[in-house]
Amino acid sequence: MAASKKIIPGFRFSLGITMFYLSLLFIIPMLAFILYSSGMGMDKFISVVTDERILHGYYVSFLCAFVAAAVNGFFGIILSWVLVRYDFPGRKILDGLIDLPFALPTAVAGIALTTLYAETGWLGQIFHELGIKSAFSPLGITIALIFVGIPFVTRNVQPVLRDLQPEAEEAARLFGASEFTIFKKVIFPELLNPLLTGFALAFARGIGEYGSVVFIAGNTPFETEIAPLLIMTKLEQFDYEGAAAVAIVMMLLSFMVLLTINGYQRYRLKKEGIAV
C-alpha cells in the first residue's frame, strides 16, 4: 500500500508552512544580501569582490575547506567501519566523541586547537621539530576544519554501512574475491552517495567556519586570512555593502560546488535505475 500523503492535512497548508519557513531561513537573508549590495553599483561591486586581498581570502577558505573535507572523507569511512563492524571496550564512548564538534562552542575549539598546535603546544612541538608550522598557517586552518567537519561524513556513512546486507560480501568471497576487491566492488559503491553528501556538508561548513579558525589562523593578510574574517572586518568598519558583496560571491561559489556534487549524485542514481 502506498504511503499516505495526508499525515499533515492539506497540500496547500503544508506547502505554505514550508515556504514560510524556507523564506525566513534562506530567501529573505539572500534578498537582504542583494539589497545591501545593490546600492554600490556593478563597477564598485566588481572592484570589491575582485580585490587582491579578498581573492586570496576566497582561495584560503575554499582550498582549506576542500582539503579538510577530503581528509574527512577518507578517515570518515575508516571511523565508520570501526564503529560499525567491530565491538570493543569504549566503542560507545568513541562513537559519542564523534559528535563533540557539534556540542563544543567553536571559539572553545579554536582556543583548544591553538593551544595544542602552537610551537609550545603538545602537538605543535612535534611539528616544530620537523620544521612544519602548524598553528598560524594554512595547515592550522585545515586542522580546525577537519575537527569541525568529521561528524558530517561519519554520521552519513554509518547508517548505510550498518544496513548493508552481508550476503553480497559472502557471495563475493565464495567466488574467490579478495577483501580489497569486495570493498571496492561491493561495499564502496553503496557508500559513495552518503560519502559525497558528507563531503559536501563538511565542505560547506568549512567554507563559512569562523569561530574555530580565527584563533589558529593567525589572520596574516595574503597568507592566512579567511573570507569570513574579511566579512567580519568589513562589518566592523560599517561597510555593510562590501560585506554583503563578499558574502554573495561566497554563497554563489558554495552553491555551484554543492550543485555539482548533487548533480553527480542524481546522475549515479539514475544510472543505477533509482527514481529521484
DSSP characters for 262-274? HHHHHHHHHHTT-
Distance CA 179, CA 170 (A): 11
pTM comes to 0.85
pLDDT of residue 1: 46
Residues in the chain: 276
pLDDT of the chain, 276 residues: tens digit per residue:
455 555 666 677 788 888 888 888 777 877 777 776 777 778 888 898 899 999 999 999 999 999 999 999 999 999 999 999 898 898 999 998 999 888 888 888 889 999 999 888 888 899 988 889 888 899 999 999 999 999 999 999 999 998 888 888 888 888 888 888 888 888 898 898 899 999 999 998 999 899 889 889 888 888 999 999 999 988 888 888 888 888 888 888 888 888 888 888 788 777 766 655
Distance CA 163, CA 168 (A): 12
Question: Hey, what's the cell of 188?
Answer: 564502496
Distance CA 51, CA 168 (A): 55
pLDDT of residue 274: 64
60-226: what fold?
Answer: MetI-like fold (1.10.3720)
DSSP code of 98?
T
Nearest Cα neighbor of 53 from 221, 186, 200 is: 221
- Coarse DSSP helix, strand, coil percentages of the chain, rounded to the nearest 5 percent: 80, 0, 20
Question: Hey, what's the cell of 65?
Answer: 575547506
Residue whose C-alpha cell reads 564598485 in the numeric block: 44
Distance CA 229, CA 219 (A): 8
> 191-223, pLDDT tens digit by residue?
988 999 999 999 989 998 998 898 898 888 889
User: In the chain, how long is the greatest CA-to-CA distance?
Assistant: 69
Helix/strand/coil for 90: coil
> 27-53, pLDDT tens digit by residue?
787 777 777 677 777 888 889 889 999
Counting residues of the chain whose pLDDT is more than 90, the rounded percentage is 32
pLDDT of residue 155: 93
Domain ranges of the chain: 60-226
Mutual angle of helices 227-236 and 52-85, in 10-degree steps: 130
pLDDT of residue 29: 77
Distance CA 76, CA 80 (A): 6
Nearest Cα neighbor of 121 from 215, 211, 209 is: 215
